[in-house]
Structure formats: structure tokens, C-alpha cells
Structure 1
């Protein structure tokens, strides 16, 4: 398991994270910025996939859980 983080200043609200991991991410309707709403720890392969899908590079792996 690895832990994810979102840089709100970089997020463009594309919603790829929410599509890939809807239990973990949501794009706020008012701010149009993604945020973690569920587990921030995911299996490494799933975490890498959501990081790759983020077009702005706002999501990163911050540590091994």
C-alpha cells in the first residue's frame, strides 16, 4: 500500500481521479478541485494508475504505507 496526496494548487478538476478511484476522490462542484474523501492509501498498482491519469500532475505518491 502507498499513500497519495493532491496538490490543490496544481489540480485543474479534470476528474480522472474520481473516474478511476471514486471511493477515494471527488471533484468539488464549487471549487472544481479534487480532494480525497476516502482511503488515501491504495495498492501500489492502483495508486500508480491514478497518478498517471491525472493530466495536471496534481496527484503524487507520498510514502509507502
Structure 2
């Protein structure tokens, strides 16, 4: 359980860092991606984009 929490945290940090580039290709604007402001800071939870990219990685892994 803790391993999945760490993976989700790392994926969220990665998406936050690459948010500008990912929005140019259409990720980050999916219906399951949450963006909210709290105390003047913007937080970003890319749930739908994470699922989409993990499915893509799984398909690539199966082909190779």
C-alpha cells in the first residue's frame, strides 16, 4: 500500500513539473484532472492523465 502511495506522489510531482509541456499535447485537461487553489497556491492532481499514461506504458511494455 505504501509503495503505491509513493508511486502516486512521484507521478504527481512529475506531472506538476512537466505540466506546461503536457498541456501542449492535450494531457492535463482531461475530465479527471483536478486543479484547485488553496491559500494562494495552485495544486494539481492529474488522475485521469496518470491512468492514461500508465495504460500507454503498459501497452508499450507488452509490445516490447
TM-score (norm 2): 0.31
Higher relative contact order (CA 8 A, sep 6+): 1
TM-score (norm 1): 0.31
Higher alpha-carbon Rg: 2
Of Structure 1 and Structure 2, the greater helix share is in: 2
